[in-house]
A and B are shown apart, each in its own frame.
Chain A
Amino acid sequence: GAGVSQSPSNKVTEKGKDVELRCDPISGHTALYWYRQSLGQGLEFLIYFQGNSAPDKSGLPSDRFSAERTGGSVSTLTIQRTQQEDSAVYLCASSPSGPGTGGDYGYTFGSGTRLTVV
């Protein structure tokens, strides 16, 4: 696609429910990143996918968080048993190639999913 697409744009969920957030990167981009932006805070790294390599999950805050990337394209971030502190904007970014693969062209971000846990 022309840009990074994220859905839904807004999600309100009850505490304890599971949610799935979707990211569709730019076609051909091999690197995909998830970040979280909480109110008044900077962006927090969550997870990184590069091609078919094992993802770097070191930023996931707890085992309630998981992510997958199917076919090297679309990615889904799943939060189980949501808590109020999970409320944030979840941003996805993609890049033509990951660092160490011969180039670094920076990130292109999607518009984010605003998650509110009530």
Chain B
Amino acid sequence: KQEVTQIPAALSVPEGENLVLNCSFTDSAIYNLQWFRQDPGKGLTSLLLIQSSQREQTSGRLNASLDKSSGRSTLYIAASQPGDSATYLCAARTSGTYKYIFGTGTRLKVLA
């Protein structure tokens, strides 16, 4: 059974700092992994989708990596800004299934 864990649960950093959010999954036979952002009281916004054949994806200041053998994905945010403050969720889809299993998220606060 796939389980997804995100550590830390919460993180505060000063503006301008580079930071890494971590996501671990127990079943390495994943089809793909997706990172989302959730603002308070809002739905989820997709940030990056990494297929199992890929090692990383980049979008602007965001870079997500995937290491299936170790069961880990990281989301790197460069030059953080107060507008990056949100909860970041990762979700893994195991091969042969169609459900995404979500972690409980990392609540990020970037201080001005």
Contacts and interface: CB of A to CB of B under 8 A. Distances in A.
Nearest to A48: B98
A108 B47 CA distance: 10
Contacts of B61: none
A104 interface: yes
Nearest to B33: A106
Contacts of A109: 36, 43-46
A42 interface: yes
Contacts of B81: none
B59 to A, nearest CB: 13
Given A43-B102, A99-B97, A107-B100, A91 B31 contact: no
Given A41-B104, A48-B98, A98-B98, A104 B32 contact: yes
Contacts of A43: 89, 91, 100, 102
A25 interface: no
B49 interface: yes
Contacts of A107: 34, 44, 46, 100
Given A43-B102, A48-B99, A99-B98, A104 B93 contact: yes
B53 to A, nearest CB: 12
A65 to B, nearest CB: 16
B71 interface: no
A106 B104 contact: no
Interface of A: 4, 6, 31, 33, 35, 40-43, 45, 48, 50, 56, 59, 91, 93, 98-100, 104-112, 114
Interface of B: 4, 31-32, 34, 36, 41-46, 49, 51, 89, 91, 93, 97-105
24 contacts: A4-B43, A6-B43, A33-B99, A35-B102, A42-B4, A43-B89, A43-B91, A43-B100, A48-B99, A56-B98, A100-B98, A104-B32, A106-B32, A106-B34, A106-B46, A106-B49, A107-B46, A107-B100, A109-B43, A109-B45, A109-B46, A112-B42, A112-B43, A114-B41
